[in-house]
Amino acid sequence: MLRRSRYTVTIPLSGDEYLLVNTFTGAMISGTKDFLKAYEADALENCSEELVSTLFSSGFVTELTPREEMQYAFENLESIRRIYRDHTLFILILTYQCNMRCSYCFQSRLFERHNQWLDQTMTADQVDAAFAAIETLNPDTKMPIHLFGGEPLMYQNYDLVQYILEKGESLGKSFLVVTNGLEADKFLPLLSTSNIASLQVTLDGIQEIHDSRKKKADGTGSFQEILSSIEQLAEAGLHVFVRVTFDHHTVRTLPAFMEVTTERGWHTHKTLSVYLSPVYHHTEGGCFNFVCNLEMGDLEFLAENEATKNAFWQGLEPLKKKLGFKDLWFPQISYCRHNPSQTWFDPFGDIYLCTDSLGDSEHAVGTYYPALCFNEQYYAWKKRTIFDMKSCHYCKYAPICGGGCGHYAFHEKGGLQKPDCSFVKQARRIYYPLLWKFKDLE
């Protein structure tokens, strides 16, 4: 006998339309209230044979008992669990120092520390140790090594960047550089001859907005210099992803900025990609909570303009991957897509797993220099999955939530193993309806 899947959730859309989501298979199907009533009442005899077949193949109905279905799900999730045991994404934090002081920087608390701490950079010995750790932890990873900061591309650290790129090239590694772009043009000869997969550079929209938010360390604006760097990098054949940040106060200036990019020919440039990314503060709901600085009217406004709609859809890529709006989708066993398979090496020899904790040594999960070793926090993070968080075992949202943000739970819920269900509420109310509305852009 067929029955409803325990992993089915119902999302109200607009009017009489509803969205059924299977959080384990990732399948989605929309229907009217009448269809929903028939499904929820197990009155499938009122549905067509074709529809019942679709519901069965998508996992919305099953012959398994609730317990059997849960056991089947976790048996299949075991392969994903093995992936999370591996270190797949490696990030080198060259320094915590930065040549800019952006108003919304999530690392701004670090700039309150003394200059000697901020000015610390990775040494050649640490770089060697980091690459040795990568070779020990996962020499076969295909993901580019990320260069991060602070700001990695400050000219004063040119020799360090050169050493890292040359060392990586000798080991067959590629790189992704996350930079503010202020001094990136000074690295152009080096970057052009290195194995750079891409660069991410951030702008805040039109010059007036950008210069008020992304100031250089001396307090002056940075728009023109970053704009010039972006275009020089792209003309050199380097793929540049331009991340345009916005919030409620700036969203209505985005069409004007998109017009600027069109006038400059960015929309036809082969190595330039522009996407919109809401400014978020790591808070309730974790790093996917971009709605904390937006209103529903802002999202509706973005959908009204073709250029902003397309650029925002590109910026929603992480959320699309998390909620199943991609052809290749996997259920989540942990809230963060890469945590704890991401590994951050900082300039003090410490290892971190979470972006929010960078620079706070009490949250370090081990060291890579002078020796590679992990501490108890590392193993605690490794256990922060829906396999080990018992309260998540019976939750139908677990395959999309993964237990919620660990960093937020640690500080606000009383422990790393405590679940945080904030993301689920946001997904039901905002993310699914939003992505469903935009899905035709895929």
Convert the pLDDT of each residue in 330-365 to its tens digit.
898 999 865 668 999 999 999 999 888 999 999 999
Phi-psi region for residue 59, left (φ > 0), alpha (ψ -120 to 50) or beta?
left
- Among residues 14, 32, 63, which one ends one of the domains? 63
Within 86-205, residue ranges assigned H as helices are 115-118, 124-137, 158-170, 188-192
Phi-psi region for residue 126, left (φ > 0), alpha (ψ -120 to 50) or beta?
alpha
Quick check: helix, strand or coil at residue 422? helix
Is a pLDDT exceeding 80 seen at residue 281? no
List 178's β-bridge partners, or say none: 200
Are both 30 and 162 inside the same structural domain? no
From the CA atom positions of the chain, what is the Rg in Å? 23
Domain extent for 175: 69-442
- Mean pLDDT across the stretch 155-163? 98
Is a pLDDT exceeding 90 seen at residue 289? no
Quick check: helix, strand or coil at residue 400? helix
Are both 41 and 75 inside the same structural domain? no
> How many domains, in total, are found in the chain?
2
Q: Which residue has the tokens 């990873």?
A: 141
pLDDT on residue 326: 86
Structure confidence by residue, pLDDT tens digits, 136-156: 999 988 899 999 999 999 999
Are both 54 and 98 inside the same structural domain? no
Are both 28 and 89 inside the same structural domain? no
Are both 36 and 87 inside the same structural domain? no
Is a pLDDT exceeding 80 seen at residue 84? no
CA proximity to 185, closest of 227, 221, 148 = 227
Average confidence score pLDDT of the chain = 92
pLDDT on residue 339: 63
- Mean pLDDT across the stretch 374-387? 91
Are both 364 and 420 inside the same structural domain? yes
pLDDT on residue 285: 76
pLDDT on residue 114: 86
Say which amino acid occupies 336. C
Are both 382 and 401 inside the same structural domain? yes
pLDDT on residue 81: 78
Helix then strand then coil, % of the chain, to nearest 5: 45, 15, 35
Are both 306 and 441 inside the same structural domain? yes
- Among residues 35, 63, 91, which one ends one of the domains? 63
Is a pLDDT exceeding 80 seen at residue 280? no
Are both 40 and 167 inside the same structural domain? no
- Among residues 20, 38, 63, which one ends one of the domains? 63
Are both 41 and 174 inside the same structural domain? no
pLDDT on residue 337: 63
- Mean pLDDT across the stretch 222-227? 97
CATH number of the domain where residue 95 is located: 3.20.20.70
Are both 219 and 97 inside the same structural domain? yes
Taking residue 19's Cβ as centre, other Cβ atoms within 10 Å add up to: 19
Are both 53 and 82 inside the same structural domain? no
Q: Which residues contact 280 (CB under 8 A, 6 or more apart)?
A: 287, 289, 290, 292, 293
pLDDT on residue 107: 83
Is a pLDDT exceeding 70 seen at residue 223? yes
For residues 140 and 86, the model is more confident at 140
